[in-house]
Amino acid sequence: MKGFLILLLFAFSLVSYSQSTFFYELEGENTFKDAVRQLSDDTSVSPLIDLIDNEKSLSLYPVMELSYSIDNKEKGIFRAGAGAQLNYSSNKLNAGFTYLFNRGEYMTYRKELINARSVIPASTSKQGISTIDAQFWDAFLSYTPNQTFDFEIGYGRKFIGSGHRSLLLSDLSSPYPYFKINTKFWKLNYTNLFSRQMNTYGVVGDQDLYRQKFTASHYLELELFKKLKIGLFETVIWQSDEGTYIRGFDPNYLNPVIFYRPVEFSVGSSDNVILGANIEYEFISNYTFYFQALIDEFLLDEIRADVSQVVNEDEDIQSGWWGNKYGIQVGLKANDFLGKQGLMIRVEYNAVRPYTYAHSSPTQAYSHHSLPLAHPLGANFEEAIAQLRYSRSDWSFSAQYNQSRRGVSPFGTNFGEEIELSNTSRIKEYENFIGQGISTHTKYFEGSISRRLKFLWGADLSIGYAWRQQEAMDVVDVNTMVYLSIRSNLFRRAFDY
């Protein structure tokens, strides 16, 4: 009977996007993390095929998910697919390949998002309107010649930070080709990431109109006393086609130890440069405070004007300059909360000013395939998140509540939330503030109970409930869903906004 059940589930196998998005924790030695979990790292799960000798190993895992949901608008929602993960490891060489194909339906508001963007978060492609096909694949090949250097080439996504969201680099978008160099020495961990993205905003389906762009990033992290980690981030985005000539990948940005703004000026370009900082501090054992600051552009005098306006509310001070583009994240995470083993809580706040991540050239926005490379809400928003998870043995309970306030532009205008609109189309020079435009308030709750099924290669059997309410211009829209699923928990599916 067990063998028949395994064959049946594998035949239908997996990947549904209609359930929990939040209890998957990204892993990594530092705050620069991989977005896809390698099942070979979990010694409690046996692969379908395992070839091991004294120097190397090769393993194959089926990855699965079968889901049925009841939506208050769409009624029954079914989704199924198939996939596998192949992993190889040796003394200095490691490789992995993950492929997923899935077909089915989505919760109403998620389907509307997918069709508006013509892309599914975290997936490479989308076809269909109601019943949607999607593919995901992730691959990497890494070479570690010694304890100092690690070189990796791949097709996937990365994440920087300690929070549920990231304002620097997140795992929301579709995978992209990249080359990564990681250097470790003393208490420093230094990462260079060179990658290629595509601008498809408004032209999805017509590949002749797609615009290629590149990003070059570096992230330097210093670890002090194993309690405090301080990271500095910088990235530059430039378009391949400059109009008068094809620029392609600019070799000036290959220098792994420079700041990019001087290089940008030296080559006479106006590329999009973004700076940031990430701090993680474990002030008590298992209690971690984390913080991110993101600066896209600003003028010190204009920042002073903003501060003066806050301090002197009664005075009419020219403030709120559109070019003050920045964001902050503040969060607190506690593992084994109140001494209860397996209990985790997190509270987090994110805010990003209008026009942040955007550029005068839409191709140079900080995005890929019509999705942001940082926070899923783009810009012109503030958000609060609360999470709780309790795990014991193979059981887990998860709950999340978050709410956000975001400004949305009426048709034909640009109030700063859509990062792929040129910031030259902005509405005004001054008096810009978070939430300008049509003030849109969103509340989201999701809870689930899961049991890990080791005989199904670590897949989770979950039952859960999701609720979303959005209010704008006195119109309230509510979407709810109850779901039952079996899935391999390989990566996050970010629909919790």
Residue 469 is assigned to a structural domain of this protein: yes
How would you class 313 by CB atoms within 10 Å of its CB: exposed for 0-12, middle for 13-18, buried for 19 or more? exposed
> Which CATH number characterizes residue 61's domain?
2.40.160.10
DSSP string covering 156-216, please? E-EEESSSSS-SSB-S-S--EEEEEEEEEETTEEEEEEEEEEEE-TTTTT-GGG-EEEEEE
Query: Alpha-carbon distance 462 to 471, whole Å?
Result: 30
List the beta bridge partners of residue 62: 84
Q: Write out pLDDT tens, residues 303-344.
A: 888 888 888 876 788 888 999 999 999 999 999 999 899 999
267: DSSP letter: T
Residue 493 is assigned to a structural domain of this protein: no
Angle at 176 between CA 175 and CA 181, to 5 degrees: 115
The mean pLDDT of the chain is: 86
Residue 15 is assigned to a structural domain of this protein: yes
Residue 19 is assigned to a structural domain of this protein: yes
- Residue range of the domain that includes 215: 2-487
Please check whether residue 37 is in contact with residue 72, taking contact to mean a CB–CB distance below 8 angstroms.
no
Please check whether residue 340 is in contact with residue 380, taking contact to mean a CB–CB distance below 8 angstroms.
no
Give SS3 for 19.
coil
Q: Best-predicted range by mean pLDDT among 112-116, 123-127, 164-168, 184-188?
A: 164-168
346: DSSP letter: E
Token pair in block for residue 59 = 């393993």
Residue 380 is assigned to a structural domain of this protein: yes
Whole-number pLDDT of residue 304: 87
Residue range 54-70: mean pLDDT, rounded: 90
Query: Alpha-carbon distance 329 to 168, whole Å?
Result: 10
Determine how many CB atoms are found less than 10 A away from the CB of residue 246.
Answer: 9
Q: What total number of domains does the chain contain?
A: 1
CB-facing half-sphere around the CA of 211: CA atoms within 13 A: 21
Whole-number pLDDT of residue 265: 52
Residue 151 is assigned to a structural domain of this protein: yes
Whole-number pLDDT of residue 1: 40
Alpha helices in 274-342 (DSSP H): 300-311
Residue range 406-431: mean pLDDT, rounded: 93
Residue 497 is assigned to a structural domain of this protein: no
Q: Residue 348: which pLDDT band, with cuts at 50, 70 and 90?
A: very high
Judged by average pLDDT, the poorest of 166-170, 239-243, 279-283 is 239-243
> Model pTM?
0.90
Query: Alpha-carbon distance 379 to 416, whole Å?
Result: 7
Above pLDDT 70, what percent of the chain?
A: 89
List the beta bridge partners of residue 228: 224, 281
Listed residue (382, 383, 385, 404) closest to 345, CA to CA: 385
Whole-number pLDDT of residue 195: 95
Whole-number pLDDT of residue 352: 97
Query: Alpha-carbon distance 460 to 437, whole Å?
Result: 42
Q: Write out pLDDT tens, residues 109-146.
A: 988 888 888 888 887 667 777 788 888 889 999 999 99
Residue 448 is assigned to a structural domain of this protein: yes
Judged by average pLDDT, the poorest of 17-21, 259-263, 286-290 is 17-21
